[in-house]
A and B are shown apart, each in its own frame.
Chain A
């Protein structure tokens, strides 16, 4: 492991070039096309495809996985291990050329394998999980659409292509969260996810425009080669905007609130989109843009701070939640915080963050599907206060969930240990006092993680049964659900140890990742001490939770101190959002409606007309008087003329 850590921070990369895709790799577009075509078939055929549609959905992702594996092996023989495939000139306005092209390099390849591999298992699971839902075919159509968009996101060879996928996954996620539209909470959550993502998307889009304005291109290779010519301020601004986009998609501070609410969607959605793939798009964006982030140390500091803050925030809130999926969701927020910490540290930690991302994809998907399996057997209940003692009724779910639990808390030899502990070490490697700050935050996070995950595990599977009356006999889920669980559990156990060596080495060929070889930084504590400490806090956290909850807990939330109450209320972040964004937004809307003379009238009357529809009502439909319109036009005209005259007199501009 020391060899990896020896890879020191990467200075701005030199010229970046990619080979051209030839031979088998020339058909890399199939990866996106196959799920897309499947989604189109499922949507267009409608009810006719109800009987076999879900199997088409599963098969398309399976085929994409096999193809991805083939391409992956093809890449070994290629120079730079990176190939570009330009499909056509998409936009060419003036100096701007945007290529509709794909890039298959090690970073894209590992993401492709994660998306299609884990995605395939989750699709398989969903066949059974959604079996009783009349909208199953539609569900698989959106699911395929999501996979296609996600693959486009990681395969694009420029930022505009990335943005295409970015918007696509956002859209599919919105549709899938709102899938159970009969639940008002689901619809609200869908909206919240959509709006908070749009904030991030706006940042990303403006960042892309800045790239175009300063560098005249959005192609990865040209942007990365040109970063050196930009001023520090431009790089900082560009990086912050990209970070805003990444934070929105990945549920990082300050845009974290949508992710836990998104759990209103069906559980396979939570597993695929809100644990394994889409939410890691932010990490992908930063890892991909590493030449930009490495070029400015302030920028890296901001990313590290966001990561550290979010990992603590998520862990603290996760400790106080009683909804099995929400605990997992906050845990996702917290774990992605670790990944942001990793990519923010730069240098070799980029690769570590990607390893943690892959490992997390396995164990979190495993636990989400496990939670779905528990819910399946417990009549869709989610309150862990009302579970308990399920271990003997759901042996497979229990064992597979245990694998995920051991992996996430990071005890050796499970995968979390190999992926998380190096990030903690890397945090201690910084040059100044911030080493202590971020190192201790990462260490504390490990302890908190152990606590809340153990609480979740113990309350669900052990201790006395505290079931509600309607439950008489919990049952294990059918094979189609347990097989994916078992496979993911195997991944949770072994993935970390297997990946920690080869993956960083493999990723080295990606532009900017690896390549530098300075001497190892001194950590402020010795490596061994950190390892012992991190195992120590984990054991303490887990032991404490075991001790507190082994005999179960009260079935209702109890009055609690300030901290617990704050954590139950998401540390008041929602309240902050409400005052800072929602209230002014509502005020602005009202003001504009008022200024628009008759917006309110129109709303009320249109409603009345819609209900009644009679001519008498219609007669009153338009209450906007021409005179008030004329007045507002006159007022506007006076303002415009006044503004022009002010310009003329030199008062403005």
Chain B
């Protein structure tokens, strides 16, 4: 009997993921054993400490460039940078999730099982403390994302995809108010997410079949094998291209690229706003991290074949996001379409065939994440007795009611519009110049033109806030608690600093742009 050979595991390199998943498990135990009135504080502390601990480990691991746990996980520059980005943004999202002073009991339903719109439901909406299960769920999701951006084979990637998606579906359903909307959003997200996962998995199967034809190598779905197969495999390339297409579809769904974006507006609108912010920032980072790795490592050899197709997807995504944002009348839907358009710009970075493209995309992800979380933080504050007032007509004249918060929101909108001296300009500049340099001029032209269109809905909101008289239905801004204030401050300051002094982060991204293979 031969000795069972265990793969070597570098626990230090895996520590960020392990800490998060461990914290999630601790969170489950807290639910069981800690008295109800303490749970909120304990859970928030556990989740935040776990994120900060994981971040510390990422920083300590900063110089790692290795593949561990039997080739399943690659800890390299992009993985560490993106893990760091996810953790920082997740910390901000946790601050929003933990807020309980803006609305009594927080943004989440107290008991998810109560029938929506019933008398019990109305009672819980009036201030029963919100469910604390959201913290372990968030920790699980963050843990899954950390694996997702570091996965070095397609199966690990698939499992990570499910690990971070399932908690998100649940989190979407937990809004305190407008619960039917919230549950409907979660249901849609779940069904369509499962649908997209099936595409991904089928693609993995096809690619596996393709790698079987590589002379001198066993079939496999790890990226090194796929990379080798793209150049050498004797199998029919229909398998490769079909598989590549299906894998791309699965990832583009998560990224919110057209025509796989249809879930985005409904889910963004229905989900509790802190969760919307969390998805807009962290899910984007995770999805594009995976896209970068799949297309820059595994399928690198087929670059000239996938670029035109994905380029068309990128152009379509920018166009759909920008044009439809113009017609929106709900601030959360508007931000949803804006995130779709931003997915298009990010794809431009992914398709730039150089390491500048990788670093530009990573910079963009971080910059956008900060801004979008700050934007949703403001959305949580504009409310009346029935909860958040998300219809745009309610925002008319907000600048006169609450100039400070309207000012902050204006600044964030200007950043989204790509006005210079905000991070929105520097990040677009970074990806566009990388793409132009890489010979993808047509994508840049489409990007510039659509971003000109996209600036319009943002400025319409600005004008609405500042240049309209407040109506009777214009709500005032609720004073944020310190958690929301902290998240908002971090987001706004980051948007400004990355607009004026982007160089340190650009350097960091450039230094982390090489994948290990």
Contact = CB atoms under 8 A, between A and B. Distances in A.
Interface of A: 43-44, 46, 88-96, 160, 163-164, 167-168, 171, 174-175, 178-179, 181-182, 187, 190-191, 194-195, 198-199, 201-202, 205-206, 209-210, 212-213, 588-589, 592-593, 596-597, 599, 602-603, 606-607, 609-610, 613, 615, 618-619, 621-622, 624, 626, 629-630, 632-633, 635-637, 639-641, 643-645, 647-648, 652-653
Contacts of B467: 175, 178-179, 181, 187
B323 A647 contact: no
B503 A647 contact: no
Contact of A206 (B327, B444, B507): B444
B489 interface: no
Contact of A201 (B245, B392, B452, B469): B452
B360 to A, nearest CB: 6
Given A213-B436, A640-B309, A624 B262 contact: yes
B114 interface: no
B419 A171 contact: yes
Interface stretch (B20-28, B100-108, B426-434): B426-434
Contacts of B421: 164
A92 B245 contact: no
Q: Which of A175, A202, A205 has most B Cβ within 10 Å?
A: A205
Contact of A606 (B333, B386, B448, B452): B333
28 contacts: A43-B407, A88-B501, A91-B430, A160-B420, A164-B421, A167-B420, A178-B463, A194-B456, A198-B456, A209-B433, A603-B327, A606-B330, A607-B391, A610-B329, A618-B178, A618-B180, A624-B266, A629-B263, A633-B259, A636-B249, A636-B259, A637-B246, A640-B248, A644-B241, A645-B242, A648-B238, A652-B309, A653-B308
A281 to B, nearest CB: 15
Given A618-B178, A629-B188, A633-B260, A644 B242 contact: yes
B117 interface: yes
The 8 closest A-B pairs by CB, nearest first: A636-B259, A610-B391, A181-B467, A164-B420, A644-B245, A198-B452, A648-B241, A94-B356
B29 interface: no
Interface in B396-440: 403, 407, 414, 419-421, 426, 429-430, 432-434, 436-437
Nearest to A138: B466
Nearest to A89: B503
Contacts of B333: 602, 606
Interface string B451-482: 01101100100010011110000000000000
Interface stretch (B45-53, B192-200, B275-283): B192-200
B208 interface: no
Contacts of A209: 432-433, 436, 441, 444, 448
Query: Is chain B's interface secondary structure helix, strand, loop, or mixed overall?
Result: helix
B319 interface: yes
A92 B509 CA distance: 11
A164 B424 CA distance: 13
A630 to B, nearest CB: 6
B434 A93 contact: yes
A597 B264 CA distance: 13
A636 B249 CA distance: 9
A202 B452 contact: yes
Given A46-B403, A213-B436, A596-B262, A641 B245 contact: yes
A606 B188 contact: no
B434 A589 contact: no
B201 interface: no
Given A181-B468, A647-B306, A648-B237, 12 more contacts: A89-B503, A93-B430, A178-B463, A198-B455, A206-B444, A213-B436, A596-B320, A610-B393, A622-B181, A633-B260, A640-B248, A644-B309
B445 interface: yes
Given A622-B270, A632-B262, A636-B260, A206 B445 contact: yes
B471 to A, nearest CB: 12
B502 A91 contact: yes
A630 B192 contact: yes
B248 to A, nearest CB: 7
Given A202-B448, A212-B433, A633-B192, A593 B327 contact: yes
A174 B467 CA distance: 11
B171 interface: no
A622 B502 contact: no
Contacts of A89: 503
A561 to B, nearest CB: 39
A633 B253 contact: yes
Interface residues of B, number: 94
Contacts of A603: 327-329
A213 B432 CA distance: 11
B170 interface: no
B419 to A, nearest CB: 6
Nearest to B391: A610
A618 to B, nearest CB: 6
B360 A93 contact: yes
B454 to A, nearest CB: 10
B448 A613 contact: no
B68 interface: no
A606 B308 contact: no
A269 to B, nearest CB: 14
Given A206-B444, A618-B180, A593 B249 contact: no
B433 A190 contact: no
A33 to B, nearest CB: 13
B214 interface: no
A484 B197 CA distance: 70
A640 B313 contact: yes
A511 to B, nearest CB: 24
Nearest to B463: A178
A523 B456 CA distance: 49
Contact of A96 (B253, B313, B433, B469): B433
Contacts of A212: 433, 436-437
Interface string B281-320: 0000000000000000000000011101100110000011
B444 A93 contact: no
Given A213-B436, A592-B319, A599-B327, A91 B242 contact: no
Q: Which of B245, B248, B445 has most A Cβ within 10 Å?
A: B245
B363 to A, nearest CB: 8
A94 B354 contact: yes
B347 interface: no
A626 B187 contact: yes
B216 to A, nearest CB: 24
A130 B320 CA distance: 42
Contacts of A632: 259, 262
Contact of A637 (B238, B249, B330, B436): B249
B181 A621 contact: yes
A610 B395 CA distance: 11
Contact of B326 (A194, A589, A609, A633): A589
A347 to B, nearest CB: 33
A622 B268 CA distance: 12
Contact of B510 (A46, A93, A629, A652): A93
A643 B196 CA distance: 18
Contacts of A647: 241, 305-306, 308-309
Contact of A90 (B260, B434, B503, B507): B503
Contacts of A195: 456
Nearest to A609: B391
A610 to B, nearest CB: 3
Contacts of B241: 644-645, 647-648
Nearest to A212: B433
Contacts of B163: none
B192 A626 contact: yes
B54 to A, nearest CB: 29
B491 interface: no
Given A606-B330, A633-B196, A636-B259, A94 B309 contact: no
Nearest to A631: B262
B228 interface: no
Q: Which of B195, B391, B452 has most A Cβ within 10 Å?
A: B452
